[in-house]
């Protein structure tokens, strides 16, 4: 103190201004010290509260390598223990916390965990809609003890601003869909195992999930029924082992344990397995994470832990494992093909989109078919009222009721011939609907100029084939969306040879099969059929408003115009479909000429119903459709003398037993090829999609 006093006296004797400055500094030090000691010894101070929810407060530290530190809001010193509810977005006037505040820590997990359980999924931005669907199902079930791992900053930002609890995995992985089996796909799998190894030491139970699954019922009470299990895992079992809600009979489960849904407890055996698992994967990047898990766990299977629970010893003889029942924690086969939960009158807990054949688009479409995928409102609507095309100038949904005879569905054996007869019949109807949708798609443009000119080519019958030249303006394009019908199959589809239905399974024949059993899905817009619209004429050929051939290659939209988008068969039954769209449909029916109210007129016999005589002429249809506002009608010399092309997006059926290759291509042109039969390729040169 003597030093400080002498300094003050000397300064006072020389320059009074410096005295004021020194006094201010000393006073500031004293006041600061007071607050520091108050914070340290305050009874309300808590190290846990000091980091309560900074990760949930509100763009990352840097963007494009430029520091944003000057724009980052500093977290408040006083926080509430109450977390912001999921889906409650941060204020747009706030700034996003530093990226390091999104790190996975024990404190972060503790904030979200309930009854010591945390539910986790992870992904990149390509799976944003899957993640939102995953979170929405859980929150609708009243479950909030969840976290989402973001593998890229784009996803982290997007989830944060939607109010989703998110943490940074530090993966810096591509934001694109990486595709099953790709090197990045395997890298993502290793991230899952790293997460397990990171969370288990925190002491929490971990329910780890893939993003391509949804929760249909709160699983936590079910998992709590088996407190002795170190791990509870789902499986790819398709032959049911139980018919109620017990754990699967582990002695009968021969299929792979599926790591898309599994529950870990922080026990020493579970931690030991997790450590050996990640060591295995890091030592050999050729090992698929699920194969590695199965290899380790199946080192030993049995004996049973007890007589009742269904838990058994595995791995090193100390790990207690239980297999979740295949009818409640459903795979893509037990849910969509067998519908085991319906046959057993059970309410499933989970649906995982395995056993499907069209990548990410196929997964998305399956969840939409089941009406468990959450799409934005515009998916269910579009500019203007979506009416069946002829009624409105803005666009429309086009649907039709398929007509299938009992003999095609049920008569005879379920074999290749009967299966392909059924599928081919349905494909021909779908072709017709897509042709009409395509024609209507081309008529629904504002300020477009359409011109029919005779082609220099002549048909075999000597009739003129007309080219339709469409000159597009710069106005926004409008579209007709095809609502696909339900598809019926008589044979199952798999990756390996089988007799048509897996032995021991409860596959009912025929069954309502997912669209990816027969058709491919491609592109985010679900493009199935591409039409020429810009660089060259389009030649149309309608056959009695019936069969329409599919003849064009896949063409880029930016060069050849828009695709015909599709919707799932259950679309019109989805509760998210706006009521005004439900009520705006025009039902077009074919009737027998001469019967009551059967006449070609734009006057409807009752609201929403239009009846046409069968085999109406082009002039008749043109006259009726032209009476609707803003609908342009494409003219032909005859309704039978034009050709409409699409991209062939039919898939394959698989697989024939005792034949290599064993798959058979579906052919959209089967009825144009005399003698066509459902047979696999005879040689490698024949192994290609049909032309």
Higher pLDDT, 362 or 393: 362
DSSP string, 377-390: GGGG--SS---SST
Lowest mean pLDDT among 120-129, 137-146, 432-441: 432-441
DSSP-assigned letter for residue 91: P
Q: Which of 176, 195, 211 is the last residue of a domain?
A: 211
Report the DSSP pairing between strands 213-215 and 449-458: unpaired
Query: pLDDT-derived band of residue 651, with 50, 70 and 90 as boundaries?
Result: confident
Residues 160, 228 within the same domain: no
C-beta pairs of 125-129 under 8 Å, 24+ apart in sequence: 125/152, 125/154, 125/155, 125/158, 125/175, 126/174, 126/175, 126/176, 126/177, 126/178, 126/360, 127/177, 127/211, 127/212, 127/360, 128/155, 128/158, 128/159, 129/364, 129/373, 129/374, 129/375
Residues 520, 483 within the same domain: yes
Average pLDDT over residues 459-468: 37
Average pLDDT over residues 316-329: 98
| CA 128 to each of CA 57, 152, 164, 206, 593: distance values in angstroms, whole numbers, following the listed order | 21, 11, 11, 22, 53
Distance (Å, whole) CA 414 – CA 408: 10
| C-alpha angle 435-622-482 in degrees, rounded to nearest 5 | 25
Q: In what order do the strands lie in the sheet with 396-398?
A: 396-398, 480-483, 566-567
Residues 129, 145 within the same domain: yes
Asked whether residue 61 is domain-assigned, the answer is no
Residues 118, 181 within the same domain: yes
| CA 689 to each of CA 547, 557, 658, 665, 674: distance values in angstroms, whole numbers, following the listed order | 20, 22, 21, 6, 18
Higher pLDDT, 192 or 579: 192
Find out whether 200 and 266 touch, Cβ atoms under 8 Å: yes
Residues 204, 235 within the same domain: no
3-state SS, 328-365, equals: CEECHHHHHCCCHHHHCCCCCCEEECCCCCCHHHHHHH
User: Which tens digits make up the pLDDT trace of 47-61?
Assistant: 332 222 222 233 332
Asked whether residue 166 is domain-assigned, the answer is yes
Q: What is the pTM of this model?
A: 0.75
Residues 119, 184 within the same domain: yes
User: Which tens digits make up the pLDDT trace of 261-313?
Assistant: 999 999 999 999 999 999 999 999 889 899 999 999 999 999 999 999 999 99
Query: pLDDT-derived band of residue 613, with 50, 70 and 90 as boundaries?
Result: low
pLDDT higher than 50, residue 478: no
| C-alpha angle 268-271-276 in degrees, rounded to nearest 5 | 125
Asked whether residue 33 is domain-assigned, the answer is no
Residues 171, 246 within the same domain: no
Residues 330, 346 within the same domain: yes
Residues 316, 194 within the same domain: no
Asked whether residue 449 is domain-assigned, the answer is no
Which residues share a beta bridge with 432?
Answer: none
Higher pLDDT, 587 or 503: 503
Asked whether residue 338 is domain-assigned, the answer is yes
Average pLDDT over residues 452-463: 40
| CA 331 to each of CA 14, 84, 127, 576: distance values in angstroms, whole numbers, following the listed order | 87, 34, 19, 25
Residues 130, 171 within the same domain: yes
Residues 501, 632 within the same domain: yes
Query: pLDDT-derived band of residue 521, with 50, 70 and 90 as boundaries?
Result: low
* Domains held by the chain: number: 3
pLDDT higher than 80, residue 323: yes
Asked whether residue 361 is domain-assigned, the answer is no
Average pLDDT over residues 3-20: 43
Average pLDDT over residues 345-364: 94
Asked whether residue 74 is domain-assigned, the answer is no
Asked whether residue 460 is domain-assigned, the answer is no
Distance (Å, whole) CA 364 – CA 371: 10
pLDDT higher than 80, residue 419: yes
Residues 225, 189 within the same domain: no
Distance (Å, whole) CA 9 – CA 22: 11
Find out whether 432 and 548 touch, Cβ atoms under 8 Å: yes
CATH of the domain at 401: 3.40.50
Closest C-alpha to 82, from 144, 38, 133: 144
pLDDT, averaged across the chain:
74
Domain with 481, as residue range(s), is 382-441+473-542+554-649
């Amino acid at each position: 103190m003597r030093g400080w006093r002498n300094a003050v006296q000397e300064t006072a004797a020389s320059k009074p201004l410096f005295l004021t400055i020194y006094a201010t500094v000393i006073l500031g030090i004293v006041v600061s010290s007071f607050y520091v000691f108050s914070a340290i010894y305050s009874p309300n101070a808590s190290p846990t509260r000091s980091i309560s929810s900074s990760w949930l407060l509100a763009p990352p530290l840097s963007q494009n390598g430029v520091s944003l530190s000057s724009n980052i809001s500093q977290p408040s010193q006083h926080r509430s223990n109450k977390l912001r509810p999921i889906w409650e977005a941060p204020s747009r006037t706030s700034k996003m916390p530093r990226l390091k505040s999104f790190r996975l820590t024990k404190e972060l997990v503790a904030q979200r965990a309930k009854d010591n359980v945390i539910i986790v999924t992870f992904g990149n931005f390509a799976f944003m809609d899957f993640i939102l669907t995953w979170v929405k199902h859980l929150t609708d079930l009243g479950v909030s003890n969840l976290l989402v791992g973001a593998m890229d900053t784009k996803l982290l930002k997007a989830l944060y601003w939607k109010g989703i609890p998110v943490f940074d995995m530090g993966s810096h992985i591509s934001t694109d869909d990486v595709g099953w089996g790709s090197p990045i796909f395997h890298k993502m799998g290793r991230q899952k195992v790293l997460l397990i190894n990171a969370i288990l030491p925190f002491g929490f139970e971990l329910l780890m999930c893939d993003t391509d699954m949804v929760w249909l019922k709160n699983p936590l009470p079910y998992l709590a029924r088996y407190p002795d299990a170190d791990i509870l895992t789902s499986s790819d079992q398709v032959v049911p082992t139980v018919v109620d809600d017990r754990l699967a009979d582990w002695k009968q489960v021969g299929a792979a344990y599926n790591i898309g849904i599994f529950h870990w407890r922080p026990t020493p055996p579970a931690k030991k397995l997790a450590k050996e698992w990640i060591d295995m994967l890091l030592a050999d990047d050729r090992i698929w994470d699920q194969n590695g898990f199965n290899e380790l766990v199946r080192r030993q299977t049995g004996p049973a832990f007890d007589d009742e629970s269904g838990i058994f010893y595995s791995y090193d003889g100390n790990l207690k494992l239980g297999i979740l029942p295949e009818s409640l924690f459903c795979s893509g086969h037990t849910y969509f093909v067998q519908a085991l939960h319906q046959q057993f009158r059970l309410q499933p807990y989970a649906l995982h989109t395995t056993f499907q054949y069209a990548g990410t688009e196929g997964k998305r479409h399956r969840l939409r078919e089941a009406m468990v995928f959450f799409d934005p409102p515009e998916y269910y609507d579009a500019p203007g009222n979506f009416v069946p095309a002829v009624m409105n100038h803005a666009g429309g949904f086009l649907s039709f009721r398929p007509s299938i005879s009992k003999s095609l569905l049920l008569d005879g054996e379920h074999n290749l011939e009967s299966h392909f007869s059924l599928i081919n019949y349905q494909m021909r109807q779908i072709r017709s609907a897509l042709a009409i949708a395509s024609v209507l798609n081309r008529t629904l443009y504002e300020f477009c100029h359409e011109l029919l000119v005779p082609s220099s080519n002549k048909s075999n019958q000597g009739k003129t084939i007309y080219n339709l030249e469409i000159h597009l303006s710069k106005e926004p394009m409008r579209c007709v969306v095809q609502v696909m019908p339900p598809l019926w199959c008589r044979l199952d589809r798999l990756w390996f040879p089988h007799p048509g239905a897996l032995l021991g399974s409860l596959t009912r024949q025929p069954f309502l099969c997912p669209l990816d059993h027969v058709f491919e899905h491609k592109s985010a817009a679900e493009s199935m059929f591409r039409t020429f619209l810009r660089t060259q004429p389009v030649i149309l050929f309608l056959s009695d408003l019936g069969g329409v051939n599919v003849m064009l290659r896949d063409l880029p939209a930016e060069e050849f115009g828009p695709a015909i988008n599709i919707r799932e068969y259950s679309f019109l039954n989805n509760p998210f479909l706006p009521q005004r769209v439900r009520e705006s449909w025009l039902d077009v029916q074919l009737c027998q000429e001469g019967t009551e109210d059967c006449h070609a007129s734009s006057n409807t016999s009752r609201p929403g119903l239009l009846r046409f005589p069968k085999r109406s002429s082009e002039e008749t249809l043109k006259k009726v459709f032209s009476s609707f506002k803003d609908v342009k009608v494409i003219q032909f010399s005859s309704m039978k003398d034009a050709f409409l092309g699409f991209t062939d997006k039919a898939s394959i059926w698989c697989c024939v037993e005792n034949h290599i290759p064993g798959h058979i291509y579906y052919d959209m042109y089967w009825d144009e090829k005399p003698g066509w039969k459902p047979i696999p390729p005879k040689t490698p040169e024949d192994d290609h999609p049909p032309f």
